[in-house]
Amino acid sequence: MSRSAPRSVEQYLEQLKAALVGEDPALQQDALYDAEEYLRAEIGQHPGKSEADVLELISSTYGAPDEVAEAYRTTEATVRAALATPPRRPSRNGLGKFFSVYSDWRAYASLFFMFLSLVTGIIYFTVAVTGLAISAGTMILIIGFPFFLLFLGLVRALSMAEGRMVEGLTGVRMPRRPAHASTTAPWYERIIGILRERHTWTALFYMVLKLPIGIIYFTIASAGLAIGVGLTVGPFLWALHLAGLIHISGDADVNGLHPVAIPFVIVIGVLVLTLLLHLAKGIGRMHGQLAKALLVRPVS
């Protein structure tokens, strides 16, 4: 069914929303932001014409909502294909598939993300708790509410930066543009819109939640890496020690390791490292979906 030509930016965005139904929420957010920015800029360059006339004028260059939606789908598919990991030769057995994780750079990126989450978690938690405490303490003063709005703006900016990091390290699609908002509404309506928007509060919740999650991620990653590397490299060092090539202090602590057990310990260490990389990939995908649910503005 053909739609009537939009007569205002709001109508254009509503039709674009309808045309993007079912697409990734991050893609929808990017498309709506780009469309509003472009349309507002074009309208500002034609002050002598009505909004409807300008929309009709630029429809041939920017495209109708359905055409723009299709262009974004095509671009998204092209970008996804370009950024996709080169296909690896499929393994014929389960053992090959299990150890193929060592050739998957996304596993190492996700493992790095687990370590980094502790740092970002501390930063986000500090910002969130400090901002809330100062806002609550100064709310009775004239600067209290403006500071609170500034704090919410900082939270939204940090959520945007976090989304870019999540996409870069875990591969889960996140917004590359901020959540679009009407720039023509009165300032008080925009403030009310920010306060009523679910995305504002879920982003703040994510800031607080990132610290305990970061502690868990860091503990898993550091413990797994320490155990895996220790079991894999330690026996080699002990074998060199037995051969007299190197000296290890504290011999009494390691005399129980029989030379026959060295290969088995190394195998266990390799298995621990392999399982850690698989776990890191799974955690990366899981966290990406959590970030998408809390940091991406839902398009209603």
- The pLDDT tens digits of the residues spanning 31-74 come to 888 888 888 888 888 777 777 777 777 776 777 888 888 888 88
- Secondary structure E strands in 75-186: none
Nearest Cα neighbor of 174 from 187, 183, 182, 165 is: 165
The verdict on pTM exceeding 0.85 is no
Average pLDDT of the chain to the nearest whole number: 84
Q: Residue 2: which residues within 8 A CB-CB, separation 6 or more? A: none
**What is the end-to-end Cα distance of the chain in Å, rounded?**
21
Asked if 31 contacts 68 with a C-beta cutoff of 8 angstroms, the reply is yes
39-48, 74-83, 251-260: range with lowest mean pLDDT = 251-260
Q: Residue 120: which residues within 8 A CB-CB, separation 6 or more? A: 162, 165, 210, 214
What was the pLDDT predicted at 262? 74
What was the pLDDT predicted at 244? 67
pLDDT of 252 strictly over 50: no
What was the pLDDT predicted at 52? 79
Asked if 120 contacts 291 with a C-beta cutoff of 8 angstroms, the reply is no
Per DSSP, the three-state class of 238 is helix
What was the pLDDT predicted at 91? 58
Asked if 232 contacts 273 with a C-beta cutoff of 8 angstroms, the reply is yes
Task: Choose between 3 and 169: higher pLDDT.
Answer: 169
pLDDT of 207 strictly over 90: yes
**Percentage of the chain lying above the pLDDT 90 cut:** 36
pLDDT of 1 strictly over 70: no
Mean pLDDT of 269-291: 95
Q: Residue 239: which residues within 8 A CB-CB, separation 6 or more? A: 259, 262
- DSSP-assigned states of every residue in 190-234: HHHHHHH-HHHHHHHHHHHHHHHHHHHHHHHHHHHHHHHHHHHHH
Amino acid identity, residue 293? Answer: A
What was the pLDDT predicted at 166? 94
Per DSSP, the three-state class of 102 is helix
Task: Choose between 63 and 89: higher pLDDT.
Answer: 63
Asked if 15 contacts 39 with a C-beta cutoff of 8 angstroms, the reply is no
Asked if 283 contacts 105 with a C-beta cutoff of 8 angstroms, the reply is no
What was the pLDDT predicted at 222? 97
**Percentage of the chain lying above the pLDDT 70 cut:** 84
- At 23, is the pLDDT very low, low, confident or very high (cuts 50, 70, 90)? confident
pLDDT of 177 strictly over 60: yes
Per DSSP, the three-state class of 58 is helix
How much of the chain is in helix, strand and coil states, percent to nearest 5?
A: 75, 0, 25
- At 180, is the pLDDT very low, low, confident or very high (cuts 50, 70, 90)? low
- The pLDDT tens digits of the residues spanning 112-143 come to 999 999 999 999 999 999 999 999 988 888 88
pLDDT of 189 strictly over 80: no
What was the pLDDT predicted at 121? 96
| DSSP annotation of 179 | P
- The pLDDT tens digits of the residues spanning 158-170 come to 999 999 999 999 9
Nearest Cα neighbor of 127 from 220, 211, 193 is: 211
Mean pLDDT of 1-27: 81
Amino acid identity, residue 25? Answer: P
